[in-house]
Each structure stands twice: as C-alpha cells, then as structure tokens.
Structure 1
Amino acid sequence: MVAHRATRKLKSGEIKYTRYYQCGQFANKGSAVCRANSVRADYAENEILSRIERILSTPKLIEDVTAEVNRKRVIDTKPLQQEHKHLTAELSSIQRKIDKYFKLYEDDMLPPQELKTRINDLTEQQQRLNHRKLEIEHSLRNEDSKPIQVELVRHLLSTFNSLFVKLGTDKKKQLIHALIKQVIITPERTIGKIELKFDDLFQTVSSSESNVSIGTDMKFSISM
C-alpha cells in the first residue's frame, strides 16, 4: 500500500489536496500487474485505527489474535527444521564416502589422482551443504522459541494507535509503510482484511515535537 496525494483545482480557484493509498504493485509496475484499488487515506487510516481499538477493547479477541500468532510461528519453523535434519543426514553420508575413499587409497585400491578427484567433489558438496546448514541454524536461533505474550501484542497495538494520531502526514506514511503487510480491498472499494507486521519496528519514528522509539526483536504479523 503506497501513499499518494492528488491535486484538484476547484471552481473558486482553490487548490484541494486529497491523500489516498493505492496498490504498491500498481504504483511500481502499472496496470499489467494489478489494479490501483485506491482508497482515501483518511478512510483507510480510520479503519486501521478502529480495528486495532476493537481488538484492544475486547480481551477475548486479543487472546484469539495472540493464539493465532503463536500457531503460525510454530508452523513457520517446521520446514527449516526438516531441511536441517535432511542436510545433517546428507553431510553424514558424504563424510562416510570420504572415509571410505581414504580407506580404499590406504589399501592400494584407489589411485592417488582418482582419490583427489573424488575428495574434491565431495568437499565442494560438503562446503555447500554446511553453508546452508549454518544459515538455517542462524535463522532458527533468531526465532524466539518463547510464545508471544498477550501483553506484548496489546502493548504494540496500543503504541501504534497512540503514536499514529500524534504524527504528521509524512511520519504517518512511514509508520503505515513499516507496519502494514497487506490490505485487501473489496470490489466495493472498502477495506477487507488488514495484516500488520511487527518485524520492522526496530526504527525510531520522530515527530517535530519528540522522538519516540518503538521496537521488538520478535517477528510476527497479525490479521484483523
């Protein structure tokens, strides 16, 4: 979702500015990719704030949102865990082959040049798989295994709402860009589903009056 401003000249000669949001893909790549799906900024922002307020004012709803977040976080790590297990098995197999070829060489059953060729091939595979394995381990370490707490979700949503209403137009654009993962617009030009992401909150949003820092090292998103 990308913010834009339209300019219109009234009959009185007055210049009127209207802020709106449109599909980011449309703004970057044009109508060949998707439709603009433009909505007025004031409507979109009020809808986002009201939905967050509804979640904050309904304890059961915020508990359900948090439970869904935690369910998705567990599911998201499973493919990485499975790939890590597969890589570990492959690396063990490669090491067994290396040991076998050295044993054949020691028993004079494998010429030196043949040994070198086979070991070089296996070593290249080993390095490539080890590199990928380390990447996965790094990703899994960065995933907080502790479940997201209801209070954290409540705090982040409350911070978003209270901060948003204090910011000027430019800072609102930055905050929307940082927090909105996607917005589904219906054919009637109303907002359907809104998905917020909290992995970009490592930023400091400054207004002309104060500096406010909001952040969390936990990566997750919520739909509302």
Structure 2
Amino acid sequence: MTAPVAVFGAALRRVERGEPAALRLVAPDGTPVRELDRNAWHRGLRPGDGALVERCPDGTVDLGCGPGRLTGALAATGRRVLGVDVSPQAVRYARRHGAPVVRQDLFGPLPGEGGWTGALLADGNIGIGGDPVRLLRRCRRLVRPGGAVLVEVDPPGAGSWSGPVALADDASDGPASAPFAWAFVAADDLAALAESAALHVTETWTEAGRWFVSLQA
C-alpha cells in the first residue's frame, strides 16, 4: 500500500505547481474523518498563526513542520528554530525557502535534545503517533527544564479520539495511504494528558477559530 508520506508529498508537489490538492483523513474503510486545511501546506501564514508565532521562544523545535510555514516565519524574525518532518518533499520545499529543517522521525534522536526552549505542535500535530501522552513526554524530553510546549488543539467539547486513519487526496486518482495511528485532542482534555507527561497548562487562547494551549515542563 502507498505510504502516507508519499500521498502527502504528491499533494505538496501539486500545490507548488498551483494545482488542486484536497487531503483528508479517512478511516481504513474509507469513511471520512476530517478534511485537512490546505492553507497549512503553504509558506504564507494562515489566520491564527500570528499569536502562536509571537509566543514561540528563541530556540523552538517545530515538530511535523511540513513545508516550513511556521519554521520559516520564526527564522525570519531571527529566532533560533529547527523544523522536523519525515516527508522528504516537505523538507525539500522548506529548505528551498530558507527554513532550517531536518528529515527525521521526531521520536528518533534530534539535534539539541533537552536544550530547546520550546517545542511546537501546530496544525493538529498533537495527533502524531496516535498517543498524545507519549508525544508530550517526547516534547518534555526535548525542552529544557521550564521550557514551553505550544500545542494546537480542537475546540472545547469537540471530544478526543485516537485510532487508525489513512490519508487520501480527493484531487488525485491515487489510492488512500496505508493506515497509520492518529489522534485528536480537545482543549478541555489536554490538561489531564499533559499532567501524565509531567507538564502543566500555563495559558489557553483562541484566534481565528483555532485553539491553542501553552504547557510548561
């Protein structure tokens, strides 16, 4: 079956050419789960990014950075930042546009382990791996004591969920990807998950219909 990074990479190539791409998460049986915001794949900031970028400290690791929208914005301010993504196509585009990134699984060894001032999980990346507590524990190990973990979440009351999904592109004739583990986390569920990862909530805010939480190690 097609790897998820292959479906994502093909969509990125079409976006770069100005062609349609419509990624969504589907259940293994093809039932729609969630559409993905196409604006997240572009270099320009999307509504709601402003306050998030302002809160990212100097020395932020952007996990699941994609083509480097936020990594590039942080680098442009002079802050030290590193994007991390498993997609070779995303990494290629990010570097092409000046964003410092590495192609790596975020659960594998990364530069600056334990010394980052902040870790960023935007655009639903709290779902990576399908186990938010494991992911938050990984973030805690990446940041220094007192460091910040900035997380984009679903609105309060939306409910949290984890399970297998596949990645499909409705603008392509290609098949959906092989299943992989993913999760959704609602804002009102994050505090309990964070506590299990030895993190605590310091701030919650909303902008342009998006919800964000700042955690501290």
Smaller-chain TM-score range?
Answer: under 0.3
TM-score (norm 2): 0.22
**Bigger share in helix:** 1
**Bigger share in strand:** 2
- Higher relative contact order at CA 8 Å, sep ≥6: structure 1 or structure 2? 2
